[in-house]
Structure 1
Amino acid sequence: MTDQLLNHREEGPASAPPLLLGPSLGTSYALWDRVAPELSAGHRVVRWDLPGHGGSAAGLIGAGATVGDLASLVLTLADALGIGRFAYAGVSLGGAVGLHLAVHHPDRLSSLAVICSSAHFNGAGPWRERAARVRREGLGGLADGADARWFTAGFTVPQLIRDHREADPEGYAACCDALAAFDLRDRLAEVSVPTLLIAGREDPATPPEHLREIADAVPDATLVELPGASHLAPAQRPGAVLTALRAHFDGTARRGMEVRREVLGDAHVDRAQARQTPFTARFQDFISRYAWGEIWTDPTLTRRERSMITLTALVAHGHYDELGMHVRAARRNGLTPEEIGAVLLQTAVYCGVPAANSAFATAQRVLAEEDE
């Protein structure tokens, strides 16, 4: 079964929101080397190789392949990994795969980022000519000129040039066939997932106007143009690409921070953020993303009910510093002092009188401070 799947690499917690990363023609998943490890702090990142590139078998597609064929391989990979709905980012041909998924399989995508790509690739002729040349001569000549197509003058990534040179000619040519047949311009208005477009200002292959064309047609799309970037922006401007992708994909963390502030108050959250260090940063992100971004935002329970549950759990485990913080939160969530007292009295029955005694002392102090 594995030889029928796209070669891939997984990073990040298996329980984190999945994010699939697609490559550009001629490269491998090494294109994401300076971005994927950072994204994996908050995502289950799966980056994959095109057929005939990196570790993917060339025979996964054949002559006359389409972008739809590549998208089907991505969905097969996701299914094999137990991934249903996922976020997706792709570069060039990988970006075209993302657009196809957004139009034809919107139920599988939660959000989309299209990087240095296009809804069309300047007509079929040049790609058919390139496919014929590669089938006839191999990839040596094209790899020699890759730097000029991919990067601004003086910049290179030797690993990606090696990937290009070592790609299977038949697999590469079949990908050229897919680019030749690709044109989604008349379907862009159907894209309904949150969409980010990233353009390299100095990209000769898919210049910024190609990304602007998508941004103008896709409802509520966002466009970012990166100065000093050519066609392989994740390799040349990884910091800028990472910043844009985080802002786009981390909606759960943003919403979590909003709820955290609403429940705990700005002063508390500001103090926590001020104390944050590189050592604790991932833990703070974890709290915002999972505790506040997923659990506290679940509409099944009201915030009042969640406060009552939280107070009980904190008493049961003797976390009295946290209890004081959540007594304040309970007041923000609408509980009266009498209701807080009733919750603590209930804990005396099920958590023990000594625990409830300490809890009443903590709550009385906090409520008095609140009154002042």
Structure 2
Amino acid sequence: MTDILLNHRVEGPASAPALLLGPSLGTSYALWDKVAPELSVTHRVVRWDLPGHGGSAAGLIGAGATVGDLAGLVLALADALGVERFAYAGVSLGGAVGLHLAVHHPDRLSSLAVVCSSAHFDGATSWEERAALVRREGLAGLAESADARWFTPGFTVPGLVRDHREADPEAYAACCDALAAFDLRDRLPEITVPLLAVAGREDPATPPAHLREIADAVPGAALVEIPGASHLAPAERPEAVLTALRAHFSGGARRGMEVRREVLGDAHVDRAQSRQTPFTARFQDFISRYAWGEIWTDPTLTRRERSMITITALVAHGHHDELAMHVRAARRNGLTPEEIGAVLLQTAVYCGVPAANSAFAAAQRVLAEEDPDRT
């Protein structure tokens, strides 16, 4: 079986929904080492190696290979594992495989995330030249420039660079052939599965414009840009990639992130996302899934009513930084300054005058920022 199937690793409960993770050219499934274990809490995660990379046999593809050939190998792996329908995330060439599946096999995908990838890879010439170079000289020289192509200055993952150096040259060149021939730009509007495009803001190989092109063309697609990330974002900024994928592959989290942005504004959410660390990533995901994906989406109360309740609770507990944020949210949810003032007067009765006094001061600062003439 190892000779006819892609080498792979399975993590997570057998009964959980399946999630397949595809690698970038030159890497192995170790690219997902800092992300897959966390995703496997809620999914049956299947990571796979490209032919001639990691543990996959080089003979699975040959010269003139296409992305469609690689997608066929992924489907064969899914079939062998008894997986009929699955979510999918892929980096670069792995992302191209996901786009091919979305266009040609939409019945197999439940959701798709395209990470540091593209619907085209800037034409055939450079890839044909790289394929010829590798067939002629091997991969040692090309691996020397891996850090510059994959990571921001000063960052590296030695194991991934080693994977690049040790990949089979013929299989690597065949993957270059696949990239040379790949262009799905005209087919993007046909994609119907929920799609998330994830861009590394410092990525020279597939810049954010390539991911924006996908997100703009695919109906309903979303775009996330990760600061401080180059081409291999799952290795360089795993916490940010994890948060984006969790939000996308969990319906509640995805809707929660939408509501969070609608209520608090993009600027606040983007700041929170950019500041998160591996230590805080799960808490950020918790907020999106539970507070925003379940509580704020409950239609029993309107957002106006929820804003009034939230303001009252924050005053009662003296959370003035959060209060300022939710005064802005209350304005976004339709409350007038007079209504906000009435809520704060109500808190003076039931939470105490000192608490309300501080709350009025915090609210006054926010309202003055929004409408200096009125206040």
Alignment-derived partner of residue 357 in structure 1: none
The alignment status of 1:156 with 2:169, answered yes or no, reads no
TM-score normalised per structure 1: 0.68
Amino acid at match of 2:180: A
Identify if the C-alpha distance between structure 1 residues 236 and 255 changes in structure 2 by more than 3 Å, giving closer, same or farther.
closer
The alignment status of 1:103 with 2:103, answered yes or no, reads yes
Paired with 1:182 and 1:77, the residues of 2 have a C-alpha distance of: 22
Identify if the C-alpha distance between structure 1 residues 13 and 252 changes in structure 2 by more than 3 Å, giving closer, same or farther.
farther
Paired with 1:175 and 1:131, the residues of 2 have a C-alpha distance of: 8
1:90-111 deviation line (CA, Å, top 9, x unaligned): 0000000000000000000000
Identify if the C-alpha distance between structure 1 residues 91 and 254 changes in structure 2 by more than 3 Å, giving closer, same or farther.
closer
C-alpha displacement of 1:182: 0.1
1:123-177 deviation line (CA, Å, top 9, x unaligned): 0000000000000000001100000000000000000000000000001000000
Alignment-derived partner of residue 8 in structure 1: 8
Paired with 2:57 and 2:3, the residues of 1 have a C-alpha distance of: 7
* Alignment check: 8 A CA contact 2:195 2:222 kept: yes
Alignment-derived partner of residue 47 in structure 2: 47
The correspondence of residues 101-250 of structure 1 with structure 2, limited to 5 A, is: 101-250=101-250
Paired with 2:253 and 2:160, the residues of 1 have a C-alpha distance of: 33
1:328-372 deviation line (CA, Å, top 9, x unaligned): xxxxxxxxxxxxxxxxxxxxxxxxxxxxxxxxxxxxxxxxxxxxx
Identify if the C-alpha distance between structure 1 residues 225 and 150 changes in structure 2 by more than 3 Å, giving closer, same or farther.
same
Amino acid at match of 2:92: S
C-alpha displacement of 1:253: 6.9
Identify if the C-alpha distance between structure 1 residues 217 and 253 changes in structure 2 by more than 3 Å, giving closer, same or farther.
closer
1:287-338 deviation line (CA, Å, top 9, x unaligned): x99xxx9xxxxxxxxxxxxxxxxxxxxxxxxxxxxxxxxxxxxxxxxxxxxx
1:4-46 deviation line (CA, Å, top 9, x unaligned): 0000000000000000000000000000000000000000000
Q: Which runs of 5+ in 2 are unaligned?
A: 257-278, 295-375
The alignment status of 1:65 with 2:48, answered yes or no, reads no
The correspondence of residues 199-348 of structure 1 with structure 2, limited to 5 A, is: 199-251=199-251
Paired with 2:180 and 2:246, the residues of 1 have a C-alpha distance of: 32
Cα root mean square deviation, aligned: 2.1
1:271-295 deviation line (CA, Å, top 9, x unaligned): xxxxxxx9xx9xxx9xx99xxx9xx
* Alignment check: 8 A CA contact 2:86 2:109 kept: yes
TM-score normalised per structure 2: 0.68
* Alignment check: 8 A CA contact 2:8 2:49 kept: yes
* Alignment check: 8 A CA contact 2:53 2:163 kept: yes
* Helix, strand or coil at the partner of 2:24: coil
Identify if the C-alpha distance between structure 1 residues 192 and 141 changes in structure 2 by more than 3 Å, giving closer, same or farther.
same
Q: Percent identity?
A: 84
The correspondence of residues 12-31 of structure 1 with structure 2, limited to 5 A, is: 12-31=12-31
Identify if the C-alpha distance between structure 1 residues 120 and 255 changes in structure 2 by more than 3 Å, giving closer, same or farther.
closer
C-alpha displacement of 1:251: 1.3
Alignment-derived partner of residue 94 in structure 1: 94
Identify if the C-alpha distance between structure 1 residues 138 and 253 changes in structure 2 by more than 3 Å, giving closer, same or farther.
same
Amino acid at match of 2:87: A
C-alpha displacement of 1:3: 1.5
Amino acid at match of 2:153: A
Amino acid at match of 1:99: L
C-alpha displacement of 1:254: 7.2
* Alignment check: 8 A CA contact 2:2 2:57 kept: no
* Helix, strand or coil at the partner of 1:212: helix
Paired with 2:254 and 2:179, the residues of 1 have a C-alpha distance of: 36
* Alignment check: 8 A CA contact 2:2 2:56 kept: no
Paired with 2:255 and 2:226, the residues of 1 have a C-alpha distance of: 27
Amino acid at match of 2:37: P
* Alignment check: 8 A CA contact 2:106 2:192 kept: yes
* Helix, strand or coil at the partner of 2:34: coil
C-alpha displacement of 1:184: 0.1
Paired with 1:159 and 1:246, the residues of 2 have a C-alpha distance of: 25
* Helix, strand or coil at the partner of 1:21: strand
Paired with 1:11 and 1:249, the residues of 2 have a C-alpha distance of: 16
Moved over 4 A (4+): 252-256
Paired with 1:55 and 1:95, the residues of 2 have a C-alpha distance of: 20
Q: Which runs of 5+ in 1 are unaligned?
A: 257-277, 294-372
Bigger Cα Rg:
1
Alignment-derived partner of residue 297 in structure 2: none
* Count of residues paired in the alignment: 264
C-alpha displacement of 1:2: 3.0
* Helix, strand or coil at the partner of 1:199: strand
Paired with 2:79 and 2:161, the residues of 1 have a C-alpha distance of: 31
1:242-284 deviation line (CA, Å, top 9, x unaligned): 000000001167789xxxxxxxxxxxxxxxxxxxxx9xx9xxx
